[in-house]
Structure 1
Amino acid sequence: MWYKFSEIVGQALISGKTNQTHFSIITLFSFFKLNDPFRLIGIGIYILLLTFVYLIFNPFPTTGPQLMWMLLGERLGEGYYLYQDVIDDIGPLSAGFFTFVDYLFGRNMLAYEVIGRLLISFQILYWNSMLIKFKAFDINTYLPAIIMAALFHFSFDLLSLSPALLGSTFLILALGQLFSQTVLQQDTSESTLLIGIYAGLATGFHPNYILFLPYMIFTGIAISGFSFRQLMLSLVGYFLPLLLISVFYFWNGGLEEAVQIWPLTFLSEKYVYQSLLDWFILGIFPISLAGLGYFMATVLRAATINQQKQRQLVIIWLLFSVAQFFLIKKQASFQLVILIPGLTYLITQFFLNIKKEMLAKIAFYLLVVGLPAVSILYWQDKITDSDYFVDKDNESYTEDIMILGDDLAPYQNARLGGPFLNYRLSKIYLAQDRDLREKARLFQMLQKQMPSTILDPNGDFEKLLKQFPALEHQYSKTSLGVFTVKE
């Protein structure tokens, strides 16, 4: 398959445009524009090179959410259960996945990076294949794959394993099945069931994605023309994974706690790790390209009925993706993963429809090379004054501890020793009015785990001691905001 690449090189040499900068722009843009699966090797090399830069030359410290996921995986691996024994806002399926990762790799940050890149590689391959299979563009091209790979490098944490990335993997599978509904004469029974199953699994991994249930219903009826039978089939598929999760908790005696705590995840105070301004500064260029792509696709050219439906699916997808940011409780750029398929589709429209070839090549180069380079420098500059990253711990705790606060640094060398992992969710949980039965359940939760040391900078545990005199006899206050278990 190298002959096509040789033709591009030959044409550039014959035209006399042999200067190095212009030559590299031509080869990059033209190489990925052709319809040849061999281009996927180039995308793999692109991801590997940037991975080398990220991990060797510009490694980023562990973030607060990443440390929380590692702690959760460790704790659940010891036989405890999410919601029943550990309070966090993560999805149950993600909790199980992090437990499995901890079993295999422990607190190995490299494993999180590798697994994350494997997931984004799958998303890239799948989304590009869906766009080709269902004729989303007039020509078959691998431009979407390289564009999508570049967009994933908008931020370092988009590349690492996260609940948002796990859930979005299933949402993009659901979107692919919705695209199949735009093809006339297509048998849709299996597809409609899969749409629901994939969307339900995504919600199980990342609860914020529950917002895509109305997306599935609306687009299924308004765009794909679901019959009542198809709608019911997709809804059954959606609730099947959630039902199985409920059965799991019921079987392990924790369904009541799960039903009580899961709704609270949407009410807790938000962790604002990154500002919207940071996102806007880095995102203005790809968003501008997407806007131009939408304008060109809708105004300057005609489209088939199927392509019009696909464009409507993508636009509504982006609207719902933006809406889900009103639900997120950890405002960090790994949540932006849900926007990437839609932006990829629109930016590809820009590159395929722009008439000025040199302008297209420059824009392509800025996106594929400029965006990752600028993002690395930008986020590296934010490390020192950001609460997103875990600082080095001044005091080295090696035993099981529990922190009732936002500073997770003491966990770096210690293990989670109590039920309250997500402090802001735990605050809401502890502030609830309780009858005698619920107080007994809370006491049993604390008594079951008994951390050796409790860091209580805000006085939450001290209030608990007043409610439970038995606990007051088990812990002693050794310094301001520090309680240790009595021997």
Structure 2
Amino acid sequence: MLSFFKINDPLRLIVLFILLVIIRLPIWLSDIPLLTEEIHWLTLGEKLAEGKAMYRDVWDNIAPLSAGVYWFAAKFLGGSRTSLFVIAAFLTALQSLLFNSMMNRSEAYKQKTFIPGFTFLIFSNMSFDFMTLSPALISLTFLLMGLRSLLRMERTDTEQSILNTGLFFGLASLAYLPSFSFLLMGIFALASFRVSSFQRLFLAFIGFTIVWGGYLIYLYYIEALQSFIKCCFLSLGWNDHIFIQTWDQLLILMVIPAIIFVLGALKTFSYNAFVNSQQSIQQVMLIWVITAILSLVFSLYTTSFQLILFVPSLAFFSAHELLLIRRSMFGELTLWIYSTVLLVIMYATAFTVLPKKIESPYTNSFSVEVPNFDEYGEKILIFGDDFNYLKEHKLATGYLNWDVSKNFFDKIDSYDEIRAIYNAFEEDMPDAIVDLNGKGAEVLEYLTIIKTQYSKNQLDNGVTIYAKIK
């Protein structure tokens, strides 16, 4: 397989695409439960497809560009899990092609080859939730475009490439807010490519500002600027960092890729025949890892699908290792071992085919069924942080994300706030109100007219439900 992908032939693209389908087909055809975040994204897309505006009519802290992609999936592709898989597969294929093309064009390796694209494809499938349409995956597409502009700097050193770097990193952060940390990496990389003029370096920041400035002007125009700041920026200070998966669960997915990365990096930096431009690219890809770690620190929560931001560096150094192995037989064996181990771990964790003492890393991420809940109607409002109740249901009102919504409900003693909440109920009355934390009862005490339309019930799991009287 190594010798096959070493040949720089465009027909290898077709093989890469076929491999992508073969690897993911068992996942697509399976009945693996939805991730709770997938319920979140599908519900958001469905609500936006009704004509609601993000941050004005729907309250969530997902970045706007990703919200737009979920709207597109709901509006034009049916808004199912299949639509998330299809778009994610398209983006992964595009990223593999883009990564391979930029590495060949920048002559990052000793020869032009499809090995970088292949390693990128394998690492893009090392975790089951890399196959769904996460904000991190959407952001990675623009990060790679920004990286392509960076790598052009060694050969072109043009103002347009510097500006494009900022533009693409700006778009990446519009898809996944913690990706703004890559702007710092970009500026450092530009400096390493001998762009010593401060004015020229500042062009990257200008490109970043153009993207964000344009979007903020749009928000101001639709009167949603203040709420966007509350939903996204200020929410970073409202909440503690949440680990959806434990460190033990994450280590199951991280250990083998980390070992492969270390082996690839050691092999690469121990080789002394690289030219200056290739060494500069290696430094950039090493900094990429540090920046990806920073993005995890800046995020509101940590879960396994965010690890996809490490894929470019993993693919880069493992491709170097494979190409630097002198004996072709050892190279082939190394490639097969890496690919097999990564895919076995992915399938084993996705289908929970693990030793009894090892818990699946997705245990805390999979959705669970809520018993005897369908009888309460279709449109649901949740006071609390549990998207399981929205599975196969619709969101009533725009209060989707509890981390954001609670800051509105905490101000119910304010006349303006209680009026806004009342209007939201009147416009989109829930069939059922799920009260996970007692806040629903407190809000209904202020909405006396609304409260008279509901009866108090309890589910089998002890959760209080306010069902609309029919």
- Tell me if both proteins adopt one fold, taking TM over 0.5 as the criterion: yes
Aligned-pair CA distance for 1:447 = 4.3
Describe how 1:1-400 pairs up with structure 2 within 5 A: 28-56=1-29, 58-183=30-155, 186-267=156-237, 268-381=239-352, 386-394=363-371, 395-396=373-374, 397-400=376-379
Aligned-pair CA distance for 1:198 = 0.7
- Which residue of 391, 394, 404 maps to 1:425? 404
Cα distance in 2, alignment partners of residues 309 and 351 from structure 1: 20
Cα distance in 2, alignment partners of residues 124 and 329 from structure 1: 28
- Which residue of 435, 460, 467 maps to 1:456? 435
Q: In structure 2, list runs of 5 or more residues that go unmatched.
A: 353-358
Aligned-pair CA distance for 1:249 = 1.8
What is the identity, as a one-letter code, of the residue corresponding to 1:251?
A: Y
In the TM superposition, what whole-angstrom CA distance separates every residue of 1:260-299 from its partner, at most 9, and x where no partner exists? Answer: 2222332434453333333323332332222122222222
SS of the residue aligned with 1:124?
Answer: helix
Report if aligned partners of 2:55, 2:227 keep a CA contact under 8 Å in 1.
Answer: yes
Cα distance in 2, alignment partners of residues 379 and 266 from structure 1: 31
Cα distance in 2, alignment partners of residues 35 and 107 from structure 1: 38
Change (3 A) 1:325 1:372: same
In the TM superposition, what whole-angstrom CA distance separates every residue of 1:3-42 from its partner, at most 9, and x where no partner exists? Answer: xxxxxxxxxxxxxxxxxxxxxxxxx121112222222222
SS of the residue aligned with 1:483?
Answer: strand
What is the identity, as a one-letter code, of the residue corresponding to 1:390?
A: S
Report if aligned partners of 2:411, 2:417 keep a CA contact under 8 Å in 1.
Answer: no
What is the identity, as a one-letter code, of the residue corresponding to 2:254?
A: G
In the TM superposition, what whole-angstrom CA distance separates every residue of 1:32-85 from its partner, at most 9, and x where no partner exists? Answer: 1222222222212211211222223x4422111111111111111212222222
In the TM superposition, what whole-angstrom CA distance separates every residue of 1:421-461 from its partner, at most 9, and x where no partner exists? Answer: 12233335544697554554444444443322110021111
Change (3 A) 1:99 1:124: same
Report if aligned partners of 1:178, 1:224 keep a CA contact under 8 Å in 2.
Answer: no
Change (3 A) 1:83 1:188: same
Change (3 A) 1:384 1:358: closer
Change (3 A) 1:208 1:172: same
Aligned-pair CA distance for 1:258 = 1.2
In the TM superposition, what whole-angstrom CA distance separates every residue of 1:167-200 from its partner, at most 9, and x where no partner exists? Answer: 11001100111111122xx141211111111111
What is the identity, as a one-letter code, of the residue corresponding to 2:118?
A: I
Change (3 A) 1:324 1:471: same
In the TM superposition, what whole-angstrom CA distance separates every residue of 1:386-413 from its partner, at most 9, and x where no partner exists? Answer: 2311122322144211112333333222
Could you state the TM-score of these two structures normalised by the residue count of structure 1?
Answer: 0.87
Cα distance in 2, alignment partners of residues 211 and 447 from structure 1: 41
Identity of paired residues, percent?
Answer: 26
Could you state the TM-score of these two structures normalised by the residue count of structure 2?
Answer: 0.90
Aligned-pair CA distance for 1:221 = 2.9
Aligned-pair CA distance for 1:384 = 11
Q: Which runs of 4+ in 1 moved over 6 A?
A: none
Change (3 A) 1:323 1:486: same
Aligned-pair CA distance for 1:467 = 4.6
- Which has the higher mean CA deviation after the structures are superposed, 100-109 or 148-157? 100-109
- Which has the higher mean CA deviation after the structures are superposed, 248-257 or 438-447? 438-447
Q: In structure 1, list runs of 5 or more residues that go unmatched.
A: 1-27
- What's the Cα RMSD here? 2.4
State the match for 2:356 in structure 1.
none
Report if aligned partners of 2:157, 2:195 keep a CA contact under 8 Å in 1.
Answer: no
Cα distance in 2, alignment partners of residues 448 and 263 from structure 1: 28
What is the identity, as a one-letter code, of the residue corresponding to 2:186?
A: M
Report if aligned partners of 1:87, 1:421 keep a CA contact under 8 Å in 2.
Answer: yes
Change (3 A) 1:380 1:224: farther
Change (3 A) 1:125 1:242: same
Report if aligned partners of 1:147, 1:367 keep a CA contact under 8 Å in 2.
Answer: no
The yes-or-no answer on 1:481 pairing with 2:451 is no
Cα distance in 2, alignment partners of residues 206 and 305 from structure 1: 33
